[in-house]
Amino acid sequence: MTWDVALILGIDGLANGAVYLLAGLGLVLIFSVTRVVFVPFGDIAAFAALTLAAFETGRVPPTIAMVGALAVVAVAVEVTSLSRRGEFARIPKAVLQWGALPAVPCLLAWLAARPGVPAAVQVAVSVLLVVPLAPLLARIVFQPIADASVLVLLIVSLALHFLLSGLGLLFFGPEGSRTQPLATGTLMLGEGFPVSGQIILMVASAIVLSGLFFLVFERTVVGKALRATAVNRVGARLVGIRPARTALLAYGCASLLAGLIGVLIAPVTTMYYDSGFIIGLKAFVAAIIGGLVSYPMTALGALAVGVVESFASFWSGALKDVIVFSLLIPVLMLRSFMSAHAEEDEEEVDQ
C-alpha cells in the first residue's frame, strides 16, 4: 500500500462514514427516546433513493401508494382507539393529523412526477415523501406496545424490517437503480487526488446536520423535551412532556435523516429494495460504539466503521463485512468492563 492508495481509501471511508454517521444519529435518537432499535431505518433510506430514481425515469414513485396505504391504516387505528374510549370529539383532528398530513407529501410527489420538474425539487420531494413513513409505522406498530420490554420492541422492529423489504420488492421490483449525482465537478486535493463533489457533499451534509442536531438539543424547548424523555420518561411526564408526542417527533426526525441519506448515497451506490438493511446494520455498529446513547461517540464510531470498511475492502474484499462486524466484539467487551451494569428498568408508562 502506498500513501496515495491510503488517501483514496481514507476519503472513500470518510464518505461512507458520513452516511453511517447520519444513520447512527437517527438510530440513537429513536432508541434513547423510545427504547426501540429501529431496524427499518435503512429501508426508509432505500425507499427515498428508489423514489428519486423513479422520478428520474419519469415514473410516479410507488412510495405514494405505500405512504397512502399506511396513512389509511393509521387513521383506522386512531379512530378505533378514540371511539373505544368514547372521545368522539377528537376524531376529526385525528383524521386530519393521520390522514391529511401524510397526504400532503403524496400530493407534492404526484405533482413532481410530471415532466419538466427541476431535479432539485424532485430531490426535496423524495425526502419529504418518506418523512411520514416512520411516524406512521410507529403509530400503527409501536405506540400500542410502547411499554413492552426492549427485547420485544427489537423483535417487532426486526419483523417490521422484513415486512418493509417485502413491500419494497413488491413496489420497486428486484432491480437496482442509481441516480444522477447531486453535485458535479471534482476538487483536486494536492496533486492527482480528485475528490468528487458528491463525496464532499456527503461529508458536508453530515457535518452540518450533526451541528444542527447539537443546536436543536442544546438550545430549543423541543430538543430539551426529547432529551428529557430520553433521560427519564416518568420525570418527563411529570413536568408535562407527553412521551407519545416526543416519540413521534423522534421518528419524524429519524425519517427525515433516512430520507437525506437515501438521496445522498443513491448517486454513488446502486440501491436495491433491500440495500438499506446493511447500511442500518453498519450504523448500528456505530451506535453500539456510542452505547446507543452518546451522539459524539456514535459519530466517531461511524467514521471508524467507514474507514475500517474501506481499508478492509482493499485487503480482503470477500471478508470486508466480517471485519467490520468483528469490530463489535472488542467494543462490547470494553463497554461491559467500563460501564456499571444496571438492570433494565421496567417502567410503567402509558401514552
Partner 1 sequence: MKTLIRCAVAVAVSAVFVASTLAADLKVGLSVSLSGPNSSIGIPYSKGMQAALAYKGEVGGRKIQLIVLDDGSDPTAAGRNARKLVEEEKVDVLMGTSGAPSAVAIAQVGREAKTPMIGLTPLSFSAADNPWVVTVAQPTQLMVDAVIERMKRNGVKTVGYIGFSDVWGDLVYDAMMKAAPAAGIKVVSNERYARADASVTGQVLKIVALRPDAVMTGGAGTPGALPFLALAERGYKGGVYGQHGLINPDFVRVAGASAQGSLMPTGPVIVAEQLPADYPTKKIALDFRSAYQKVNNAPTSDAFSAYAFDGWLVFLDAAARALPKAEAGTPEFRVALRDAIFTSKDVVGTHGVYTFKPGNLYGVDERARVIVKLDNGQWKLAP
Number of residues in contact with partner 1 under rule CB under 8 A: 33
Q: How far apart, in whole angstroms, are the C-alpha atoms of residue 42 and residue 262?
A: 9
Please name the residue that has the C-alpha cell 410527489: 109
Q: Which is nearer to partner 1, 137 or 199 (CB)?
A: 199
Q: Which is nearer to partner 1, 42 or 290 (CB)?
A: 42
* Phi and psi at residue 52, to the nearest 5°: -60, -40
Which cell numbers in the block locate residue 321? 463485512
Segment holding 188, helix H or strand E: strand 186-188
Per CB under 8 A, contacts with partner 1 among 146-175 are 169, 173-175
Please name the residue that has the C-alpha cell 419519469: 58
Is residue 16 part of the contact set for partner 1 (CB under 8 A)? yes
Q: Which is nearer to partner 1, 243 or 306 (CB)?
A: 306
Which listed range, 63-71, 215-223, 247-255, 311-319, lies at the site for partner 1 (CB under 8 A)?
311-319
Is residue 279 part of the contact set for partner 1 (CB under 8 A)? yes
Least distance (Å) between residue 161 CB and partner 1: 15
Segment holding 231, helix H or strand E: helix 221-231
Question: For partner 1, which residue of 89, 221, 318, 342 counts as binding (CB under 8 A)?
Answer: 318
Least distance (Å) between residue 316 CB and partner 1: 9
Which cell numbers in the block locate residue 22? 447520519
| C-alpha distance from residue 170 to each of 63, 173, 274 (Å) | 11, 6, 11
Per CB under 8 A, contacts with partner 1 among 170-209 are 173-178, 196
Q: Which is nearer to partner 1, 13 or 132 (CB)?
A: 13
Question: For partner 1, which residue of 110, 162, 314, 325 counts as binding (CB under 8 A)?
Answer: 314
Least distance (Å) between residue 188 CB and partner 1: 13
Is residue 336 part of the contact set for partner 1 (CB under 8 A)? no
Residues 256-287, buried b or exposed e (16+ Cβ, 10 A)? bbbbbbbbbbbbbeebbbbbbbebbbbbbbbb
| C-alpha distance from residue 351 to each of 75, 160, 246, 280 (Å) | 17, 21, 11, 28
Q: Which residues bind partner 1 (CB under 8 A)?
A: 2, 5, 8-9, 12, 16, 169, 173-178, 196, 265, 268-270, 272, 274-275, 278-279, 310-315, 317-318, 320-321
